[in-house]
Structure 1
Amino acid sequence: MKKEEYPPDESILHDPILNDSFKPLVRPVKPVTSPPKKRFASEPDDAKPKKKIKLEFVGVVISSSSHSSSQTRRIARSLSPGDTESESEDKPKATQVKEEIKPVIKKEALLDPITVTDRINKIGCIPFTVTLDKMLRNTPVSRQFISQVYGGSDTSTFPRISQRNIEKHGRGYWMFWNLEKHPDAPGEPGRPGIWYDADACNLDDDFDKARHCFARISSAHWLYMGDYTSHLAEPLKQSEWLFQKSNFRRYWINAIHTKHWARRSRASIHLRSILRREPTRNEIQAALNEEGKFDHGEKRLEMRVIECVGYDNELQRELVEGFEAWKKSRGARKQSQGKEVGSKKTKGSKKKTETARTKTSPHGKKRKFDDDLEDEVMEDEIISRTGTKSRPRI
């Protein structure tokens, strides 16, 4: 017999005694979560949650790199590669060092590099190592300063020093070349090079002695190259001459004759002394055709290989320090002279005479000037003096 089930009476549901037993039927059920698992000491570190690893290390790395990036940039600017303080002290000096000096040269006067290297290698010249600081050895001085302090002409290639000056400083042999006209000559301290001349007989007997050599970098700037000796090299062969560019041949032919506009006059005078008569136009033109003589090997360009055998560090220091003092004293002297001239009042012919003296060389003396091939040419500086009404100049 089937047992019938009846729903519970509402009075039973509201009974306070039996109410707790029926609460689960009406109260919502909450999900039960298991307690966190405890980690024992025997468990490996891999069991640690990955999120905790990221929170512990990633944050530290990011803050460290961001904080040090700007700081490392500032340190890199102030420090040279290395850890010592001495290197950081050398950094400001390195920024002031003068880089390679590049003077203005005439490219048409350059000999082909194969011929230059051949002549230097035959002599066996090697570069001389200069140990002086770059900033100091790349400091030029003026030619006028060298002439006034050490003696000799300020325009000659081989200035002759008086015995009185030699007794003062003991330096009797000097040489100066213009890199614009002699681009194959040494242009960097200690380097070998080639010096050209139209005739080897023009050189002095003591040309092979060691000399203090200077190269002209720019106007009024001469740089000490070192102490050099010269070796007579094989002149430029006919085949080598013809191998050069036409600009090179044309440049040296014109340079050998110094003044192009006076070539015909010089040729005419020379032929007149030989022929004992007035030369014809064809004879003058034949004498002027020097290019054919070079092309046929009748005339060759002489060359001297210049080798650096030493570098006088004390001389360069002496030049740099003395040049600075010389410029200061010269500037002070000019200021004092300007004040004296401004305080004096001149009238009439006296004022004109003083103006004429300032425009011309003192005492009207002749002065020597070197041309492109370093030959000394005498040129007169004319003094124009005007007379007065009472004393007219005839």
Structure 2
Amino acid sequence: MAPRIKTEVDENDLFRPILLTTVPKAERTEPEIEEINGHVITDSTYCERPPRRRQVLESVIVRRIDKILQEERRMKDIGRRFDTFKNSKTKLTKKEEEMRLSDHILYERLKNVQLDLFPIDLDVTTLNTTITRDFMSNRYGGSSVSCFPTISEEKFRQHGYNDFMYLSMKYHPHAPQVPGAPGLFFQPGTASQRNTDDSELNENKIYRVFTRLSSGIWLKVGLYEFGTSEPLSVEEWTRKDMKTMRDIWSHKISTMAWGRGMRCSIRVRSQLGREATQEEYKEALGGDKKFLDVNPQEVSNAFLLGEEIFSVYTMRCVGYDIEFQKTIAHQFTNWAPPPRAPKKPKNATRVKKEEDDESKYGTDTVTQKRSSRIKQKTESSKYKSSKKRKVVEVEDDEEEEAESEDEV
């Protein structure tokens, strides 16, 4: 029997109730509170939100600004104090100014040594009397260009002084500029890389220090003792304001005789691909090689990588020989420099040869040779002038003539 299809819809089917499968989200209600025997009991399922902690950012900002301002005031005070260590007669070139360390680095190295002028009971005129190296060399002996001049026995018996030290601000921009002021002394390399004679600083010795203020002008600043400070770090070398100092010292080390020890260390390291042992270094240094193939960039890289060190010594004034200053001030006033030996002309040898040729071959032959030489020189000058040349600042200083012997 076929199923029966219902064609009529019961109205009650359209309006019968619909059962929901999910419970609608109940609205948040306050917890039920009951009171039993005077005690209030709340619904255990209710958790009251803790009060939000108030943050006052203004107080943090104020503290930070105050700290920054306090640091700025401190550095200004330090800068003003360092200004009292500067001499009005000092004339530094642009490069020498750029070689100076920042006040912050300088303060960190001197704060535990000396930050006040050593008291000196001497009239200002005598105290600030300057002399020349030629005068000191003539009267007290020693080289006129060496940092630590060796005094002969004869001169030492005459005056009894063998503790002279001369610092040029060309290499030591923080040498004491006024009597009694503190300072810094730089010395590249380790003790094993430098000479072991009197050209080496002796930390246990008190030195009678003179500082070069400008070309040919030297001032006695006092008796100084030296203390070891931390070498210039890689972080300090990489500072932007240290580039000039790094470039100048790297150039001098790569060319001067006193830089041979460090040049040897750099070259041996590059050849071995590692640090050389003491025996390997001494063997290489014992030969006649000057290692002039080490260029300034290699020296600079050695400092930046921390492979070579740059020693720094603090200078503290511990005394001032007043009678000695009075003596040299009086002597220099009445001193007349001895006449210098006449310089030999550069073409003296050529002139002598031409005179010999004239007597041997005749005047015409010599004249033709001279004309040919002048023509070649003129053409060479024209060719060179067509090229761009780099301008190099050369300081007009008599001491530069013997710079190859100068010890920094």
Q: In structure 1, the residue corresponding to 2:174 is in which secondary structure?
A: coil
Return closer, same or farther for 1:311/1:208 CA change in 2, 3 Å cut-off.
same
- The question of whether the paired residues in 1 share the 8 Å contact of 2:135 and 2:332 is answered with yes
Residue of structure 2 in register with 1:303 after alignment: 312
- The question of whether the paired residues in 2 share the 8 Å contact of 1:193 and 1:306 is answered with yes
Instruction: Report Cα offsets for 1:246-297 as digits up to 9, x if no partner.
Output: 333323322332469x99xx78x95699689xxxxxxx78995233222222
Consecutive unaligned residues of structure 2, counting only runs of 5 or more, are 1-86, 273-282, 284-292, 342-351, 356-399
Residue of structure 2 in register with 1:67 after alignment: none
Q: Shift in Å at residue 135 of structure 1?
A: 1.4
Q: Shift in Å at residue 303 of structure 1?
A: 0.7
- The question of whether the paired residues in 2 share the 8 Å contact of 1:155 and 1:368 is answered with no
Q: Shift in Å at residue 305 of structure 1?
A: 0.8
Consecutive unaligned residues of structure 1, counting only runs of 5 or more, are 1-98, 277-283, 338-348, 353-366, 376-394
Return closer, same or farther for 1:294/1:183 CA change in 2, 3 Å cut-off.
same
Residue of structure 2 in register with 1:239 after alignment: 235
1:1-394 to 2 correspondences below 5 Å:
100-105=88-93, 106-124=96-114, 126-201=116-191, 202=194, 204=200, 206-245=202-241, 246-258=243-255, 288-327=297-336, 330=337, 369-370=402-403, 374=407
The alignment's TM-score, normalised by the length of structure 1, stands at: 0.52
Partners in 1 of 2:106 and 2:125 — Cα distance?
A: 29
- The question of whether the paired residues in 2 share the 8 Å contact of 1:231 and 1:306 is answered with yes
Partners in 1 of 2:158 and 2:401 — Cα distance?
A: 25
Q: Shift in Å at residue 117 of structure 1?
A: 1.3
Partners in 2 of 1:272 and 1:235 — Cα distance?
A: 21
Q: In structure 2, the residue corresponding to 1:175 is in which secondary structure?
A: strand
Q: Percent identity?
A: 29
Return closer, same or farther for 1:119/1:169 CA change in 2, 3 Å cut-off.
same
Structure with more contact order per residue of length (Cα contacts < 8 Å, sep ≥ 6):
2
Give the aligned residue type for 2:211: A
Q: Shift in Å at residue 231 of structure 1?
A: 1.0
Q: Shift in Å at residue 137 of structure 1?
A: 1.3
Partners in 2 of 1:136 and 1:123 — Cα distance?
A: 27
Q: In structure 2, the residue corresponding to 1:257 is in which secondary structure?
A: helix
Is 316-325 or 238-247 further displaced after alignment?
Answer: 238-247
Residue correspondences, number: 237
- The question of whether the paired residues in 1 share the 8 Å contact of 2:254 and 2:299 is answered with no
Partners in 2 of 1:117 and 1:297 — Cα distance?
A: 23
Q: In structure 2, the residue corresponding to 1:177 is in which secondary structure?
A: strand
Partners in 2 of 1:292 and 1:146 — Cα distance?
A: 39
- The question of whether the paired residues in 1 share the 8 Å contact of 2:189 and 2:308 is answered with no
Give the aligned residue type for 2:208: H
Give the aligned residue type for 2:108: D
Partners in 1 of 2:180 and 2:296 — Cα distance?
A: 41
Q: Shift in Å at residue 188 of structure 1?
A: 1.0
Partners in 1 of 2:307 and 2:219 — Cα distance?
A: 37
- The question of whether the paired residues in 2 share the 8 Å contact of 1:191 and 1:308 is answered with yes
- The question of whether the paired residues in 2 share the 8 Å contact of 1:156 and 1:370 is answered with no
- The question of whether the paired residues in 2 share the 8 Å contact of 1:235 and 1:302 is answered with yes
Partners in 2 of 1:172 and 1:151 — Cα distance?
A: 10
Q: In structure 1, the residue corresponding to 2:402 is in which secondary structure?
A: strand
Return closer, same or farther for 1:286/1:369 CA change in 2, 3 Å cut-off.
closer
- The question of whether the paired residues in 1 share the 8 Å contact of 2:146 and 2:406 is answered with no
Partners in 1 of 2:269 and 2:202 — Cα distance?
A: 35
Specify the structure having the higher radius of gyration (Cα).
1
- Pairwise CA RMSD: 4.0
Return closer, same or farther for 1:214/1:221 CA change in 2, 3 Å cut-off.
same
Return closer, same or farther for 1:368/1:199 CA change in 2, 3 Å cut-off.
farther
